[in-house]
């Protein structure tokens, strides 16, 4: 890289570093790094383990992504294809961080994404799609093969919403939330029969697991077919029970649920102006014990995104400020005591 000028070839030789994932103790981190081969015309993402002084490659020449560390920091779950075959699907892999090889835990017919460890460290939850009405893995696998082998590629629909950018959605499979037992590899569908559409731009990051592992919350389209409107809502369910909409009190979008570390609240985003996609996103606290909604940031003239907890009472999130992304924090304890009166604090821009 001693060239005197920047060229396209030089830019493509530069590795792309993804978002690091730190362990609970803050001692080590896993980071995805993507490098590109111009001759082959494709990129490869590898996962690296670092401690601030050294980096060690965890994965090899088959792209791996979406790392998730176990609660005790001893194991890493990630997504990788079963082989380099172009038709191979992403599957869930788990490996010990200190020594040992990755093991593939799933063989889902349409692949997996977005792994989350359950608090007990014995199971990993993930997203995987099923064809509507084909609610078992065997039925979905058979349907996928039928569609692949069929010479008819036409689509028919009686729904108003049938296409999203370059995707046909009228007969697209729908995401379900599954768990796999790390030891026995038993796969369980937590949302059997669910036919709701998960966020189409990106389903990853749109759901969360309670700190005690007893329940799950997720974002999905709440509108009913034929989808004259397409409004997202937040759903909540205890393991073994059916999902229930908790954002019915607003006629506009609700999204991205996050459980508070103490398990008392579910934080989600909410828009209030029906039919206006660019309405600002407010942060809302849903009290799990009572079902009460508390709007935390109504007067704040910004739109929150990508919120996460940092510690027991602090929310960290992004918002656009004067044409640039900025990082904000919100003291949840104070905001709950005085809703709308505690303004988020900008910490970086």
- Average pLDDT of each block of 10 consecutive residues along the chain (349 residues)? 78 94 92 94 95 93 96 96 88 94 97 98 98 98 96 91 91 97 98 97 95 98 93 97 96 97 98 91 98 97 97 97 97 97 97
Residue 139 domain-assigned? no
What does the pLDDT read at residue 293? 97
What does the pLDDT read at residue 100? 87
Whole-prediction pTM: 0.94
What does the pLDDT read at residue 5? 86
What's the structural domain count of the chain?
Answer: 2
Residue 346 domain-assigned? yes
Residue 99 domain-assigned? yes
91-116 pLDDT tens trace: 999 999 988 899 999 999 999 999 99
What does the pLDDT read at residue 2? 57
Residue 105 domain-assigned? yes
Q: Are residues 240 and 274 in the same domain?
A: yes
Cβ neighbors of 122 (< 8 A, separation 6 or more) are: 181, 182, 183
Q: Are residues 108 and 239 in the same domain?
A: no
Q: Where are the beta strands (DSSP E) in 205-281?
A: 207-209, 215-221, 232-238, 244-245, 254-259, 265-270
272-294 pLDDT tens trace: 998 888 999 999 999 999 999 99
What does the pLDDT read at residue 52? 87
Residue 147 domain-assigned? no
Q: Are residues 119 and 203 in the same domain?
A: no
Q: Are residues 207 and 347 in the same domain?
A: yes
What does the pLDDT read at residue 282? 98
Q: Are residues 127 and 212 in the same domain?
A: no
Q: Are residues 111 and 230 in the same domain?
A: no
What does the pLDDT read at residue 226? 93
Q: Are residues 207 and 303 in the same domain?
A: yes
- Domain hosting residue 32, numbered range: 1-131+173-184
Q: Are residues 317 and 269 in the same domain?
A: yes
Q: Are residues 15 and 123 in the same domain?
A: yes
Q: Are residues 264 and 115 in the same domain?
A: no
Q: Are residues 99 and 207 in the same domain?
A: no
Cross-strand partners of 30: 21, 49
Q: Are residues 222 and 124 in the same domain?
A: no
Residue 153 domain-assigned? no
CATH code of the domain in which 265 resides: 2.120.10.30
Query: What Rg value do the Cα atoms of the chain yield, rounded?
Result: 22
């Amino acid at each position: 890289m001693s060239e005197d000028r920047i060229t396209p070839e030089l830019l493509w030789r530069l590795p792309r570093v993804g978002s690091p994932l730190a362990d609970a103790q803050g001692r080590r981190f896993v980071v995805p790094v993507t490098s590109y081969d111009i001759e082959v015309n494709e990129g490869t993402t590898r996962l690296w383990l670092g401690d601030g002084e050294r980096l060690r490659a965890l994965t090899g020449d088959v792209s791996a992504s979406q790392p998730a560390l176990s609660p005790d920091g001893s194991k890493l779950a990630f997504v990788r294809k079963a082989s380099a075959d172009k038709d191979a699907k992403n599957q869930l892999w788990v490996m010990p961080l200190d020594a040992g090889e990755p093991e593939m835990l799933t063989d889902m017919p349409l692949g997996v994404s977005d792994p989350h460890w359950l608090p007990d460290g014995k199971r990993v939850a993930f997203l995987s799609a099923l064809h509507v009405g084909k609610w078992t893995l065997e039925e979905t696998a058979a349907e996928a093969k039928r569609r692949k082998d069929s010479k008819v590629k036409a689509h028919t629909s009686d729904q108003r919403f049938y296409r999203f950018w370059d995707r046909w959605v009228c007969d697209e499979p729908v995401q379900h939330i599954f768990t796999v037992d790390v030891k026995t590899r038993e796969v369980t569908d937590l949302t059997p029969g669910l036919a709701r559409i998960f966020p189409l731009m990106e389903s990853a990051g749109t759901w969360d697991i309670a700190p005690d592992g007893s329940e799950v919350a997720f974002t999905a389209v709440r509108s009913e077919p034929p989808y004259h409107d397409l409004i997202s809502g937040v759903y909540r369910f205890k393991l073994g029970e059916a999902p229930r909409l908790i954002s019915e009190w607003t006629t506009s979008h609700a999204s991205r649920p996050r459980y508070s570390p103490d398990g008392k609240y579910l934080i989600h985003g909410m828009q209030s102006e029906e039919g206006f996609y660019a309405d600002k996103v407010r942060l809302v606290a849903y009290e799990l014990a009572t079902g009460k909604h508390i709007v935390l940031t109504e007067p704040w003239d910004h739109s929150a995104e990508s919120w996460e907890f940092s510690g027991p009472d602090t929310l960290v999130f992004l918002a656009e400020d004067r044409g640039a992304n900025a990082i904000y924090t919100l003291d949840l304890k104070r905001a709950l005591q005085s809703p709308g009166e505690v303004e988020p604090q900008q910490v970086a821009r």
